[in-house]
């Protein structure tokens, strides 16, 4: 533990997948006796304050903007807020989506540390995302005139070292970068300097969730969730119900807040539907996880040794799904045109093949011994203690 109390500033953008893993790090640092402040969008106040960190809302972030415009505005609002308050802190911890973190911390004269909620990024990983991601992601990285035009504007606005975003991400690196997966799951892992890139496994901690009632369920349990942003497909969940109704499995479906249970029609006795479930607890009991392939969900599944059937929707998910397949941790099926029979056959092909479970046991051991947020905290504090006076 650091010999002195540190003032630590964290910053993030208003995206659940990029924020959720970092909240436990804030809680760990506070628990070690350090002052932590977290710059974030106003709607994240409650979750940030639950960690014990001091919440700093974005400057100049109007409430009357549409959701899409607020997301775009968040980049500059976060930057301006850190620019205003950052000089009073010992360091800046930022998630990779806040691309300007390193350049901004250098301007403020404080060290910085980067967190990756997805794979660690180099040119090859970004190229993979550009080939397999959704429309916006592929258009941004594959259409060079657009990439160059936007990068030049962003460089001028945010003081980047490089005139294009790919180089700013891949070359302007802090001395320490932390990725919420294990090195064995990272594509092109050997290309990442082991001194600069630390792979610490998923962010696992006590989320203060109610105990889940499994009393009406029997093994094997299939858990179905598309994540917080994608739980809007009524047809997909109906396909799941059709696939597994009256089968010798129990199915737990987390459908989010947008879809109402009534929209799914009559439920068979072996299908249990909820707007939200405590995912970590479910994964400890489940025999199969049907997931969109979000990085956090996949890493949590690795941590608890649960094989996966991945149905990627976009962004980094197709590349994550491919890694699941390549490492024999599960299978991937396409969302478009998916039938109940295809879904059922694919699920059973994983459930009934013990080789998947054996491979998951290996990754479970790796994930549970990788260190997590406790390791990140200790490495950051050690680095700060070793900074020149």
pLDDT, residue 243, reads 98
Residue 288 near residue 350 (C-beta atoms within 8 A): yes
Residues 6+ apart with CB under 8 A from 23: 47, 48, 50, 51, 203
Indicate if 357 and 265 belong to the same structural domain: yes
The CB-side HSE value for 241 (13 A sphere, CA atoms) comes to 20
pLDDT, residue 273, reads 96
Three-class DSSP category at 40: strand
By residue range, what is the domain housing residue 192?
Answer: 7-201+370-385
Please state, rounded to an integer, the average pLDDT across all residues of the chain. 93
Task: Report the share of the chain in percent with pLDDT over 70.
Answer: 95
Number of domains in the chain: 2
pLDDT, residue 125, reads 95
pLDDT, residue 123, reads 94
Answer whether 0.95 is exceeded by the pTM. Answer: no
Look at residue 211 and tell me if it is in a domain: no
Indicate if 178 and 272 belong to the same structural domain: no
pLDDT, residue 191, reads 98
147: pLDDT strictly greater than 70:
yes
pLDDT, residue 135, reads 57
Q: Which of 49-63, 223-237, 245-259, 270-284 has the lowest mean pLDDT?
A: 223-237
Indicate if 345 and 376 belong to the same structural domain: no
Query: What is the rounded average pLDDT of the residues 6-20?
Result: 96
| pLDDT tens, position by position, 240-268 | 999 999 999 999 999 988 888 999 999 99
Cis peptide before 325 (omega within 30 of 0): no
pLDDT, residue 144, reads 76
Indicate if 193 and 239 belong to the same structural domain: no
Indicate if 354 and 374 belong to the same structural domain: no
139: pLDDT strictly greater than 80:
no
Look at residue 212 and tell me if it is in a domain: no
Look at residue 209 and tell me if it is in a domain: no
Instruction: Return d(Cα 381, Cα 376) in angstroms, integer.
Output: 9
pLDDT, residue 258, reads 86
Indicate if 334 and 381 belong to the same structural domain: no
Indicate if 114 and 242 belong to the same structural domain: no
């Amino acid at each position: 533990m650091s010999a002195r109390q540190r003032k630590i500033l964290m910053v993030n953008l208003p995206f659940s997948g990029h924020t959720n893993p970092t909240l436990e790090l804030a809680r760990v640092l506070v628990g070690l006796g350090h002052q932590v402040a977290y710059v974030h969008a106003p709607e994240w106040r409650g979750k940030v304050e639950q960690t014990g960190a001091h919440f700093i809302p974005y400057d100049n972030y109007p409430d009357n903007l549409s959701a899409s415009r607020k997301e775009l505005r968040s980049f500059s609002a976060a930057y301006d807020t850190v620019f205003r308050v950052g000089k009073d802190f010992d360091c800046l911890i930022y998630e990779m989506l806040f691309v300007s973190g390193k350049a901004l911390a250098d301007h403020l004269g404080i060290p910085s540390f980067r967190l990756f909620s997805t794979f660690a990024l180099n040119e090859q990983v970004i190229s993979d995302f550009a080939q397999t991601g959704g429309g916006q992601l592929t258009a941004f990285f594959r259409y060079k005139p657009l990439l160059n035009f936007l990068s030049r504007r962003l460089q001028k606005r945010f003081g980047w070292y490089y005139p294009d975003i790919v180089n700013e991400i891949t070359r302007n690196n802090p001395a320490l970068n932390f990725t919420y997966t294990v090195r064995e799951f990272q594509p092109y892992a050997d290309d990442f300097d082991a001194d600069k890139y630390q792979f610490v496994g998923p962010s696992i901690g006590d989320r203060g969730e109610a105990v889940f009632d499994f009393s009406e369920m029997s093994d094997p349990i299939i858990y179905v969730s598309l994540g917080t942003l994608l739980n809007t497909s009524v047809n997909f969940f109906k396909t799941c119900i059709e696939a597994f109704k009256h089968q010798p499995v129990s199915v737990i479906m987390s459908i989010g807040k947008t879809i109402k249970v009534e929209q799914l029609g009559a439920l068979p006795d072996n299908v249990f539907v909820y707007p939200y479930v405590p995912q970590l607890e479910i994964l400890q009991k489940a025999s199969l996880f049907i997931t969109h392939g979000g990085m956090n969900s996949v890493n949590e599944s690795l941590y608890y040794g649960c094989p996966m059937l991945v149905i990627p929707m976009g962004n980094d998910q197709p590349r994550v799904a491919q890694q699941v397949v390549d490492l024999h941790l599960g299978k991937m099926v396409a969302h478009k045109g998916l039938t109940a029979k295809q879904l059922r056959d694919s699920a059973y092909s994983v459930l009934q093949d013990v080789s998947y479970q054996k491979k998951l046991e290996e990754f479970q051991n790796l994930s549970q011994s990788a260190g997590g947020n406790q390791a990140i905290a200790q490495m950051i504090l050690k680095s700060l203690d070793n900074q020149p006076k």
